[in-house]
Amino acid sequence: MKKIIVAGNWKMNKTYLEAKQFIAQMNQKSSFGTEVILGVPALYSDTLYANNQKENVHIALQNCSDQSEGAFTGEISARMIASLAVKYCIVGHSERRTIYGETDDLVNAKVKQLLDSNVRPIFCLGETLSERELDQTFSIVERQLTLGLQDLSNEDVSNIVIAYEPVWAIGTGITASKEQAEEVHAFTANYLKEKYGSPLASTIPILYGGSCNEKNALELFSQPNIWGGLIGGASLQFEVFENIIDIAEKLNNGR
Ligand code: PEP
């Protein structure tokens, strides 16, 4: 049975005080059972982790190094992340792939680093607009899955969260329709089933990301293979993000 997960990605936004204020507001929220993950700036993660009072709200990082330790100035290792008791880290986000030139192999190295340190990767993938227009969506997603998850054990794969984020929908205000999103989610779920077997595949959450907001969350999260959202812009303002959590909570409670 899928449980809807609501994940936020703050990207390079919020000052220290603004970030603490957001967590304070979350702490005030009446109790809910939905799992919430917040991808915060690394610099604040320890404080936000310490300030968070909600058991089902998890602090996540947005990136990590592909190396384990050593002379890599400015980098943050998976082991460092794990030492803060942070349980999740976003990898393979399209902004990292396009702006910083991250390849599938580099993303795969990061995924492995995280899993070796018991941090769950939120592994992002998705096609660009031109790839979609050339009818390459499925082949791109398949390539990203195959290379991004290469050489992982079944146990490793069972600790991954996937986020399908069509690049053309990220930060553009253009959301994939529920049909467009569901079709790629179903394809991804089927890929996982064929590769790792049904029992394992049926436990891997596949989130949707790309201009997901309080207006479209309900129809997206109601699709059979959409397990919730990875939310950028709409995760920055507490009241908006809270509305999305409330939508997920209702669905999780069968309402
Ligand atoms: C993201 O950054 O992962 C994202 C989905 O952004 P937005 O919701 O702003 O499109």
Query: For a pocket test of ligand 1, which of 170, 208, 214, 240 has the largest count of ligand atoms closer than 8 A to its C-beta?
Result: 170
Q: Identify the residue whose C-alpha is closest to ligand 1 atom 3.
A: 232
Full domain range(s) for residue 90: 5-252
Q: ∠ at Cα 115 (84, 228), nearest 5°?
A: 85
Are 41 and 12 within 8 A, CB to CB? yes
> pTM for this structure?
0.97
How many other C-beta atoms are found inside a 10 Å radius of the C-beta of residue 35? 20
pLDDT of residue 248: 98
Give dist(CA 180, CA 50) in Å, integer. 39
Return all residues near 112 (Cβ < 8 A) that are at least 6 apart. Answer: 151, 152, 156
Tally of domains within the chain: 1
Residue whose Cα lies nearest atom 7 of ligand 1: it is 232
For the CA atoms of 40, 46, 48, 53, the dihedral, rounded to the nearest 10 degrees, stands at: 130
Domain CATH code at residue 187: 3.20.20.70
* Catalytic residue status for 165: yes
Cα(234)–Cα(200) distance, rounded to whole angstroms? 31
What is the residue-level pLDDT of the chain in tens, covering all 255 positions?
899 999 999 999 999 999 999 999 999 999 999 999 999 999 999 999 999 999 999 999 999 999 999 999 999 999 999 999 899 999 999 999 999 999 999 999 999 999 999 999 999 999 999 999 999 999 999 999 999 999 999 999 999 999 999 999 999 989 999 999 999 999 999 999 999 999 999 999 999 999 999 999 999 999 999 999 999 999 999 999 999 999 999 999 997
